Structure 1
Amino acid sequence: MTSHLSPAQLANSIPNDGSEAAFVWLGGSDARREGQWTWSNNGDLFWQGDFNGAPVNGRFTNWGVQPDNLGGAENALAMGLANWPEPFYDLGEAGQWNDLDAGNKLVYVIEYDAVVERLTGYLDQPADQGVYSGVGMIRGWALSEEGVERIEVYIDGRYAFDVPYGDPREDVGFAYSDIDGSSTSGFSVPFNYSALAPASTPFQSL
């Protein structure tokens, strides 16, 4: 996570509690009832008590030597991005949780279900139900608004190899002009069909 934050963001995400370490908000709180830690998105109770407490129903927790409700006002859950506090670093390690005053202005984490754009494509060769022998081509095109990382070929349900991606496809570029990279969405590679076992099932390209 720290690799995605600038030095200024890290410096501005250090709470006013003497820890001298950057933290990010995680969305848990015991503000409604001291020692009853719940998630803000669904209200699930995941921890009861202070640092001598226990997780609820086996739910995941990752506290340092926390929570301690220092000063009586630490009711918000945060995760450390470095060991804390200076100079002994004996209360928590990077990645562990701490309870902090909700008045601190910190970077925060948002969890959400990603919407994955569907993949559009076509396998020109080998054609469906086609019969091939000797050296031919595996050829087609693939598009996604999120980009295509690679093209994988599976034979009989098992990964075989990757196919180079990025061949010119003016026809696809014309048909899908609203998608970046559509004019270079092709893939192709020579393949020896005679090397396949007689019972091999059709190709799958992903």
Structure 2
Amino acid sequence: MLEYNASRPDVILKEYGRNIQKLANYLSTIEDREQRTRYAYTLIELMRQLNPNVKDNNETTQKLWDDLFIMTNFALDVEAPYPPPEVDILTRKPKRVPYSTEPVRFRHYGKNMERLIAQASELEDPTEKQGATIYLGKLMKTFYSTWNRENVDDEVILRDLEHMSRGKLTISIDEVKQGNLFDTNQPKSRSNNNNNSNKGRRSNNHRRKR
């Protein structure tokens, strides 16, 4: 007499197929626990061969035993190397992954910028801290310009820097604007220009004497 699918017992884990399910059901009918355990180990190896591409490690082996317990409705009593999984493993809702609460406007600076700011915030020397603040301001302005090609306001950069450092990195906005401290292409200082002009004068005078 033909056995129709409608009359067959359900396959709990379809990736293993009906034959493995039948063998799992048969394990529960073996009365001798020692013999039942030996058959269970044999079935585990058979289940492993159905997935030859999966790496052979402790995590994979434990998953095979978990699957075997699941296919026997957690009723299998054997000397297994791992404890049976919890009964609600199939119905348990996955843990919700917490979303970042960081405002969207700070994402263009990147995670590395957050790490740099965190490190600079722990500096104790005031001079080093101010130098780090100016350096980070320049870096943030460069990133901001890449993300938004419009003119970047130093006040926006300073506000973001203060927010991301929780107020530990700050500098006067007037000082930033007067010294163009956040600009990456600063003009040469007057002292350098004066030195260059003085060098030019000395060279000209030297030529005239000749």
TM range (shorter): under 0.3
Q: What TM-score, normalized to structure 2?
A: 0.26
Q: What TM-score, normalized to structure 1?
A: 0.26
Decide which structure has greater helix share.
Answer: 2
Task: Pick the structure with greater CA Rg.
Answer: 2
Work out which structure has the larger RCO, using CA pairs closer than 8 Å and 6 or more positions apart in sequence.
1
